[in-house]
Structures are given as C-alpha cells and as structure tokens.
Structure 1
C-alpha cells in the first residue's frame, strides 16, 4: 500500500530516527500527579465470557457470578476495572442492578475507571441508530456506576470467519464502506459528547483498524471535527500494529495521538516482516517485549499531559496473567521514569 493509505502526515513522513528523537526529547525524571502505585491501571475482562457454561448470560446469572469473575481479576492485583458491554450489558441494566454492581465492586476492592461499549458502532449503516440509542443508555449507566469515562469504538461485530479462528485480526474485517457518511458520524458523536458532558462523563474514542479511527491522522481529523472538550482518544496502538500488512511506524502513531489521549488500552504484538516477500506476521506479546516500546511511549504520553487510566489487555494464552504482569511492568516503569510531584497522592 502507498504511505498515504496509512495516514502518514508530517510525522509519518519523518525518518524513524527523527521520530525517536521526538519521543526521546523528554527530560527525565517526569513529575507525576500521584505515586506510581496509585496510577489507575485496570484489568480487562477480555478473558471472561458474557455467557456462562450453562448457556445463560452473565447478567441473568446475577451478582454471584459478577462477584466470582471480578474477584479473579482483583486476585491478580488489579484495583481498577473497565466494565465492558461484552461481559455485562450495563447499558441494559436496571437502576437496582447498577446499584448492586457498584456496591459489589466496592466489596471486592475494585473501582470502575471506565465502561466500554463493545462492537456496537454508532456509525454502522445498518444498526447505527439502534446502537446510538444503546450508547445513550450506556452513558447514563456509566454515570450511575460512578465511572468517569466511557470508551467507544467505531468497529462492529466480528465476521463469522473471524469468530471461527483464534486470532481474528489475521482475517480482514469490515471496512469504512459499512459506515455512514463522515459528517453523520461526527454529528452522532457530538450528540453523545453533549449528553455525556451533562452527566459528567468523558468519552474516549478507540483507535481500531479499517474505520474512521483506523489511522492516526484519521483519528485526529475525526476528533477535531467533533470538537468537544470531554472527548479524547484511546490510542490503542496494539489494534493498529497487529495488522498483517504494511503499517505506519508505531513511533509516528504515538507522536500524533498520545497528546490527545484521555484513556489508554495497552497491549503489544510481535511483528515479523519480510516486505520483499510480502510477509507480515503478528502475534500477541507482553508490553515489555513487543513491537511498541512502551518505555518511550509512556514517558512521552505523560510529558504530553496524559493523566488517564491504563487498561491492560492481552489475547492468547493466559491473558489475565499476562495482563497482571503488564500491570507490574507499568508500575515499575512509572517508578523509573518519574518523581512524584510535591503534594501528590499516595
């Protein structure tokens, strides 16, 4: 693909050495707003299905099942969690159910740093209006849970052939052809942003391949067109670097998107490339050993003003254990690149 297809703008056209220089132009140590151990680092519920072994939904299974799943997350050392609609459809839950979930989170020692609406795109040509209504309900539910932020993506359900394999990203999914027009997409996101602002909730838009948020430059344009103070980016670099084809350098994506981040899904992938042969292979990797250098990325993000929560994700193997190790890595990294500002919380 030509470089333009990957959204290469001014930074994208720079040599890798120049991009690394931008990332490294951070004076260490960095002042943190609070201690590394207190930074919100959440665990993802990716490893917990939305249906029980008995074939009933986790919602229908009730609080005992919710507690069981959340205790497993807390047992790995997590103090924060994102509540995703794929695990528990919080946007459909009643007020008493939401109250019970909020109390249960306190009981198991977890704070909801965010909620996430998963694969219910408001820009889908077929289901967009239905998903828009569901997302409005999700915003109200987020406020009821006391979570400060809701994460939204523009990606829809996996295709049947993607669901049939272990690593879905190895088969191309939907494209922007399934989206409504750009202007309509922007208007719907503005509508959601205004609603969220009224109830004190931020919105984070997740980078994801093959949609309006599928490149760094595209995400910046989309964010600028929405033009709302309570909307930022979730620069999920892993979603873009796992593509099994040519990609924009992760350094360029980071330089462009991290200054606009208000929440951050963090995961990493190994890449094996032989461009002359047209071979591009990817597989999940821990944060410390994949393609993205998170030491540089995190330092640059914090120096650029990032103060949001991290969400640790991992596909493949014991994803919960890998996510827990990634949490420990982030805490260790924050200690090494920083000093805690005077008066910061412990």
Structure 2
C-alpha cells in the first residue's frame, strides 16, 4: 500500500477498549440494541475522532447478522466515522480449545474488513484472562496464558497466519500481528523471527511495544524493539506507560499518555516515517478517562506527523 496521507488525513483510530463489552445487567454489547452502539460511538465522535476500530472486545462486527452489521455501518456513516481497521483480542488461532473456531472467525474478520472498506486487521496469539488477571487492578501484573513451546504448535501458528495472509491478499487487506508477552510475538526478536517464517507480503507486525514495556519484569529497551521491528511494521497500536525499575529489583508500571511515559513516541514515529511506514495508527489507553487520553494522543501524533511528513 502506498501512503498518500497528509498529517491531517492520516487515519488515527480510537480503540473501543474504554467501553465494556458486557453491560451491568450481564447482557453483551454484541446483543444490545444498536442505540447502545450509537451512544458509545457518539462519544468517540464527540472526542474529535474521525476513525474508529470496532475492537472485538467491545463488538464482534464480523459476527453480526447482515442486517445488524448494516445498522452498525449506518451509525458510523451518520457520525462520519471511518473504519480503517478491525482489531481482534484473545481469539488466538492456536487456542487449545477454540483454535479452529477462531481461525474461521479470523477469516470472517478479513471478509468483514473488506466489506466495510477497512484495509487492515490485527490478530494476536494472546489467550483469555486468567482468574488472577480478572481480579487484578492491572491485568498485566499477573501471569497470563503462555504459548506452547513445542515445534508442532509453533508451525501450526505459522501455517494458519500464512493462510490468513493469503486470504487477506485476495481481499486487498493487510494483516498485522500484535506483539504480546509470552506469545510467539513476545519479544522483538521473536516477532521478527515469526513474521519472517510466515513470509507473506500481506502479513506485517503490529509493533504494540506498550504491551511489553508495562510488564513487571526485565524487557528489551523500547528503542531496540522499534529498530528491530520497523522493517516489518504494519497497522500500529500505540500507548505508553510509566515504568519504574528500582535498584532493589522491583519493577512497576502505570498507564501514561503518549507524551509522557517511558517510550519516546516522537522519536519512534519519526523513525517509522523515515523508514516508509504507511499504515494507520490506533490509540489505546487503560484507566481513567481512556477516551479523553486517546484524543490527546491522537493530537500529539498529528503534531509529530506535521513535522515528519514535511521533512520527508
């Protein structure tokens, strides 16, 4: 895909993670009246967003009946919200119980992206929350599900992503694989190895290094991760964290705006633009007024793009 965007038109989508997928009465947003979708999406539009990613922890657009999906599209059109991408969460194609179902679902996501005019999808290998993660204030402070270490499962992952890449290419879609701890994309080197083994032009990396910087354990330096992964960069989830590493060995983190935190996003994005990065951004934030922080992160990215796109 060739970039033709300016700093003002570059798609910067709001993630829907500030909005729960389950209502207080136990109903799923998936089954709710479309007016609820409209209420949530109106908040996104009111925050100044022109693009939204209907993150499937909120709403599985690919699993809506055609008539309800048409209602979703109509709401977005009424609010003048484009859908540049669809991200999936915790629906790994190698899940030991539901891998086959999630593979079929991922194919539906690709078809739905094409139907909606979205050029990008994001997949990952991270599993469901553990009971400990569900109880924690910040889920990343508890150990999550790890990908198996055997060669057969690894090869299955490679084969299934390559299969999705072939389908995506037929539909004019780009696949991005989300970096996430304890998965086959859990370090920069692991991510580069995996996408290289998939070896398909429609499969890139979602360099979501915030997922790794927030861990309460030693991790690679953010700048090293960026440098290693940029040649494979696709649709990009961006967020930041304050990270404290005490001499005693204690490591702690907390969500931060892009402008603050440990990752220097001005430097990271500048490197990406110089390297020819040409995919949309997704802004995410956990805690507090997540949507409000995302809106300010969007403005910060545009500030960086104004400078970098002029220079390039």
Q: Deviation of residue 246 (structure 1)? A: 0.8
User: Over aligned residues, Cα RMSD in angstroms?
Assistant: 1.6
CA distance in 1, matches of 2:38, 2:302: 26
* Aligned-partner SS, 2:87: strand
**CA offset digits 1:152-209 (Å, max 9, x no partner):** 0110111111011220001111112388621111011111111222222211100011
CA distance in 2, matches of 1:59, 1:158: 19
Task: Identify which of 292, 299, 304 aligns with 1:333.
Answer: 304
Task: Identify which of 63, 79, 86 aligns with 1:92.
Answer: 63
Alpha-carbon distance change, 68 to 153 in structure 1, aligned in 2, over 3 angstroms? same
Is 2:105 aligned against 1:134? yes
Q: Deviation of residue 33 (structure 1)? A: 4.1
Q: Deviation of residue 248 (structure 1)? A: 0.6
The correspondence of residues 1-346 of structure 1 with structure 2, limited to 5 A, is: 33-177=4-148, 181-274=153-246, 276-339=247-310
Runs of 5+ consecutive residues of structure 2 not aligned to the other structure: none
CA distance in 2, matches of 1:48, 1:192: 28
CA distance in 1, matches of 2:101, 2:13: 29
CA distance in 1, matches of 2:115, 2:4: 27
User: Which is greater in Rg?
Assistant: 1
Q: How many residues align?
A: 309
Whether the aligned pair in 1 keeps the contact of 2:273 and 2:309 (CA below 8 Å) is no
CA distance in 2, matches of 1:205, 1:50: 22
* Aligned-partner SS, 2:59: coil
CA distance in 1, matches of 2:70, 2:118: 13
Whether the aligned pair in 1 keeps the contact of 2:242 and 2:255 (CA below 8 Å) is yes
Q: Deviation of residue 214 (structure 1)? A: 0.4
Greater shift, 208-217 or 255-264, is seen at: 255-264
Q: Deviation of residue 53 (structure 1)? A: 3.2
Q: TM-score, normalised by structure 2?
A: 0.95
CA distance in 1, matches of 2:220, 2:30: 40
CA distance in 1, matches of 2:245, 2:24: 40
Q: Deviation of residue 72 (structure 1)? A: 0.2
Whether the aligned pair in 2 keeps the contact of 1:99 and 1:145 (CA below 8 Å) is no
Whether the aligned pair in 2 keeps the contact of 1:273 and 1:279 (CA below 8 Å) is yes
Alpha-carbon distance change, 225 to 45 in structure 1, aligned in 2, over 3 angstroms? same
Q: State the partner residue of 1:18.
A: none
**CA offset digits 1:232-286 (Å, max 9, x no partner):** 1110010011111111111100001122111110100011112x41111111111
Runs of 5+ consecutive residues of structure 1 not aligned to the other structure: 1-31, 342-346
CA distance in 1, matches of 2:190, 2:294: 29
